[in-house]
Amino acid sequence: MLLADDHTLVRQGFRRILEDDPRIEVVGEAKTGLEATELARKLHPEVIVMDLSMPELGGLEATAEILKTNPGAKVLILSMYSNDAYVRKAFEAGARGYMLKDAIEVDLSRAVLSLAEGGAYMSPAISGMVIDSMKKGIREATPDPYDRLTLREKEVLQLIAQGKSNKEIGALLGISMNTVAVHRAHIMETLELHRTAELVLFAVKRGLVQAE
């Protein structure tokens, strides 16, 4: 299995918990969403434990990209957010499990084994809430404009929300400042946002970055 979290100490903690079970082998660790997609392509892990809020590429976006090239992978999303909208988005991206971080020490190994055996997993604290939401017919009334962004535009959006300038984004992604500006303009047009502050707020609400 593959671990993806941007905090080294957190990954080390996860690894210790998982490797206490002899049935689980951790074959790799990633500290960004992009690194997770690259390692998944190289290592073909059976299960991927993915933090929701990842640098460079969010956990949900990384999940969708991984499943394009490795559709048999089972992804467990880790999150601090119990909002049913985040849970639905995770499963729509192709994840097979969603776990709240406050339940990790007790349930992480069990969740990973459940996914490895072809099952699914959802933290008990949120499963009832999500089922009730589905029963009440809560659905998004209109298509999500975020889904119309390209992978590159999603990367640019996340970096904007992290406070990077056009020059810094260009250097990180290997593209020109003008290209970054074009992406930024298209992102704003697609999301119907008009200021950088609105882009940052949008990214925080989506869990792409965490509010300080």
User: CB neighbours of 147 closer than 8 A, spacing ≥ 6?
Assistant: none
- Give yes or no for residue 139 having a pLDDT over 80: no
Is the residue at 111 inside a domain? yes
What confidence category does residue 132 fall into, taking pLDDT thresholds of 50, 70 and 90?
A: low
pLDDT at 212: 53
Among residues 128, 31, 36, the alpha carbon closest in space to that of 87 is found at 128
88, 34: one domain: yes
Q: Which of 109, 135, 161 finishes a domain? A: 135
Q: Which of 135, 164, 196 finishes a domain? A: 135
Is the residue at 210 inside a domain? no
The residue with greater pLDDT, 60 or 105, is: 60
117, 68: one domain: yes
CB atoms within 10 A of CB 22: 6
Is the residue at 34 inside a domain? yes
130, 150: one domain: no
- What average pLDDT is seen over the chain? 86
Q: How many angstroms separate the CA atoms of 36 and 206, rounded?
A: 20
pLDDT at 138: 44
85, 180: one domain: no
- Segment 147-206, tens digit of pLDDT: 888 888 988 998 998 889 999 999 999 999 999 999 999 999 999 998 888 988 888 887
23, 103: one domain: yes
pTM: 0.67
Q: How many domains does the chain have?
A: 2
pLDDT at 54: 87
122, 158: one domain: no
The residue range of the domain holding 125 is 2-135
Identity of the amino acid at 137: G
pLDDT at 42: 94
46, 79: one domain: yes
- Segment 61-90, tens digit of pLDDT: 999 999 998 999 999 999 887 777 788 888
- Give yes or no for residue 137 having a pLDDT over 90: no
For residue 158, what are the CA distances in angstroms to 33, 52, 90, 97, 202? 11, 13, 17, 24, 10
